[in-house]
């Protein structure tokens, strides 16, 4: 490509590698927190299962194609991306740590230090248990000075002790390294890793929801990810290995139809709620193994509901159990926002309301200028949120990074070297910057 390559530091590139599609957005900052999307690329993903790479070549191809398309549209090349992770090995840990500040005015270094000690405590616990993980987020969700809780920002305050309540989100090292390898094969580096459901929350929630308490449920193809926001902070993230592909596979098995036909039936005629007329409405269902003009079965539309509903029930029951085991089901507020491609199944909101006993709304990315309609749906919420993560400066969004400016920050939009040049040296750079 011979496009002009402005080395603009206000350009952010986001890459969401999902189980069904890889999406790349390139955007430019506009004013305080505004953004204009310059380029969009999306490509079918076949190399992942439950958000985890199982086929490196297929993942590399999908990443390369999605990034190329976004670069062509934006007229710029990118070198580093903010990467969404939604693999099922993501875990949340809440830790408290305390340091002495001996009566001096608290400085940014004190804050970074107390967060470091929370990370060190987790690492020690993992060493004892013989486990290992990669930190994805270290977000302070509340400070206390001399035991006085509710401090939003302790810098400049005086006291004897500073304590912090930190959300540490981690992932298993293998899947993160595989994602990183697929990306480095496309000569891209990672600016930040962000849990997809957290990103979806950044793009779809309004401030009041984040303050009063809300659970974001990102219903993807191979995963259902959860992020809980409370008092402005993300306080929990988690990923469950179940998604829209399970619904499609249930339909394919239940009706003996090819997966592609099951996918079509689901998106065109699927409904989670039973309607009396659906017994009389007959659908043509091609049979597996038959050619295009081969035998079709006629089944009442209500049969789709009978297949779809149990899987959605199971999904929301798993979400409920997950929140209960994290001790957050009752603390997490009265609202739920559904995002992700699979949130578009008709009737999903009613099922969520019934099982979670919450007010449920459907979310879609907010506040992005220049976004094509096709990319403004709930399936693109996570990718849009990654852009927002790159642009935002509010304390709850950037967490620790606010206190420890990485020298690499702001380079997401730097033009990339030619594809032929090996960038394997970048492998592990993210790890180095974060330890
Ligand atoms: N209009 C629609 N109606 C019902 N389901 C839909 C619709 N559009 C997409 N889906 C489903 O959404 C799922 C894909 O969602 P999404 O694009 O959010 O997943 P992903 O990000 O690729 O995967 P993951 O986040 O799980 O790794 C697929 O199972 C697809 O069938
Ligand atoms: Mg996704």
Q: Which of 221, 365, 382 to mutate to test the pocket of ligand 1 (most atoms within 8 A of CB)?
A: 221
What angle (nearest 5°) sits at the alpha carbon of residue 337, between those of residues 336 and 343?
120
Question: How far apart are the CA of 160 and the centre of ligand 1, in A?
Answer: 51
Q: Do domains 1-89+172-205+381-435 and 207-365 have the same CATH topology?
A: yes
Q: What is the pLDDT of residues 172-190, one digit of tens each?
A: 999 999 999 999 999 999 9
Tokens 């997809």 found at: 196
* Confidence at residue 228, expressed as pLDDT on a 0 to 100 scale: 96
- In whole angstroms, give the CA distance from residue 384 to residue 382: 5
Output the average pLDDT for the chain: 85
CATH superfamily label, 207-365: ATPase, nucleotide binding domain (3.30.420.40)
- HEC string for 353-404: HHHHCCEEEECCCCCEECCCHHHCCHHHHHHHHHHHHHHCCCHHHHHHHHCC
CA of 196 relative to ligand 2 center, distance in Å: 7
Q: Which of 279, 268, 273 is nearest to 303 (CA)?
A: 279
Contact of 335 with 361, CB cutoff 8 Å: yes
Closest-lying ligand 1 atom to the alpha carbon of residue 16: 21
> Is the confidence at residue 427, as pLDDT, over 70?
no
**Among candidates 175, 180, 177, which has minimal Cα distance to 190?**
180
Q: Distance from the CA of 64 to the center of ligand 1, in angstroms?
A: 21
Dihedrals phi, psi of 157, to nearest 5 degrees: -85, 155
Confidence of residue 435 (pLDDT cuts 50, 70, 90): very low
Ligand 1 environment, Cβ below 6 A: 18-21, 45, 51, 86, 196, 220-223, 243-245, 248, 263, 266-267, 340-342, 344-345, 379
The 10s digit of each residue's pLDDT in 376-403 is 899 999 999 999 888 864 333 333 343 3
pTM (two decimals): 0.88
Nearest atom (ligand 1) to Cα of 48: 27
Phi, psi angles (nearest 5°) of residue 107: -115, 165
Residue position matching structure tokens 């399970």: 246
Q: Taking Cα atoms as reference points, which of 371, 33, 16, 8 lies closest to residue 190? A: 16
Pocket test for ligand 1, best of 20, 223, 349 (most atoms within 8 A of CB): 20
- What single DSSP character describes residue 158? B
Taking residues 28-42, what's their average pLDDT? 83
- CATH code, residues 1-89+172-205+381-435: 3.30.420.40
Of all ligands present, the nearest one to the C-alpha of 48 is: 1
Each domain of the chain, given as residue ranges in start order, spans: 1-89+172-205+381-435, 91-171, 207-365
Range from 14-23, 91-100, 290-299, 423-432 carrying the lowest mean pLDDT: 423-432
Ligand 2 centroid, distance to 280 Cα (angstroms): 35
Quote the ligand 1 centre to 366 CA distance (angstroms): 19
Topology of domain 91-171, per CATH? Dna Ligase; domain 1 (3.30.1490)
Nearest Cα neighbor of 27 from 18, 17, 40, 16 is: 40
| Residue 6, CA distances (Å) to 11, 71, 307, 323 in order | 9, 12, 51, 45
Q: Give the residue, 382 or 132, on which the prediction is more confident.
A: 382
Q: Is residue 5 scored above 60 in pLDDT?
A: no
């Amino acid at each position: 490509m011979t496009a002009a390559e402005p080395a603009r530091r206000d350009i952010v590139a986001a890459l969401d590698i999902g189980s069904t599609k890889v999406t790349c957005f390139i955007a430019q900052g506009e004013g305080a927190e505004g953004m204009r999307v310059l380029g969009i690329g999306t490509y079918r993903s076949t190399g992942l299962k439950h958000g985890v790479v199982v086929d490196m070549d297929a993942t590399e191809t999908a990443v390369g194609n999605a990034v190329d398309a976004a670069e062509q549209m934006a007229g710029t090349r990118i070198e580093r991306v903010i990467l969404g992770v939604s693999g099922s090995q993501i875990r949340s840990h809440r830790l408290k740590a305390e340091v002495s500040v001996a009566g001096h005015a608290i400085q940014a270094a004190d804050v970074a230090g107390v967060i470091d000690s929370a990370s060190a405590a987790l690492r020690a616990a993992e060493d004892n248990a013989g486990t290992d993980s990669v930190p994805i987020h270290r977000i302070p969700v509340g400070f206390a000075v001399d035991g006085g809780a509710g401090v939003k920002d302790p810098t400049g305050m005086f006291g004897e002790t500073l304590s912090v309540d930190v959300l540490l989100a981690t992932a298993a090292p293998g899947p993160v390294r595989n994602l990183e390898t697929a990306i480095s094969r496309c000569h891209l580096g990672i600016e930040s890793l962000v849990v997809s459901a957290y990103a979806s929350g950044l793009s779809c929630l309004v401030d009041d929801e984040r303050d009063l308490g809300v659970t974001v449920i990102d219903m993807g193809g191979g995963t259902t990810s959860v992020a809980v926001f409370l008092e402005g902070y993300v306080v929990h993230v988690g990923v469950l290995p179940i998604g829209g592909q399970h619904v499609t596979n249930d339909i394919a098995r239940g009706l003996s139809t090819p997966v592609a036909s099951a996918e079509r039936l689901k998106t065109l005629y699927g409904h989670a709620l039973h309607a009396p007329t659906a017994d009389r409405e007959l659908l043509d269902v091609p049979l597996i193994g038959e050619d295009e003009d081969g035998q079709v079965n006629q089944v009442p539309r209500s049969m789709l509901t009978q297949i779809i509903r149990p899987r959605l029930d199971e999904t929301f029951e798993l979400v409920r159990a997950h929140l209960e085991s994290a001790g957050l089901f009752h603390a997490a507020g009265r609202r739920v926002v559904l995002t992700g491609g699979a949130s578009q199944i008709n009737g999903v909101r009613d099922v969520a309301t019934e099982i979670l006993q919450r007010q449920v709304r459907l979310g879609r990315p907010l506040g992005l200028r220049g976004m094509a309609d096709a990319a403004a749906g709930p399936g693109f919420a996570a990718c849009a949120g990654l852009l927002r993560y790159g642009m935002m400066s509010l304390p709850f969004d950037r967490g620790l990074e606010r206190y420890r400016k990485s020298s690499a920050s702001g380079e997401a939009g730097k033009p990339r070297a030619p594809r032929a040049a090996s960038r394997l040296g970048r492998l592990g750079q993210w790890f180095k910057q974060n330890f």
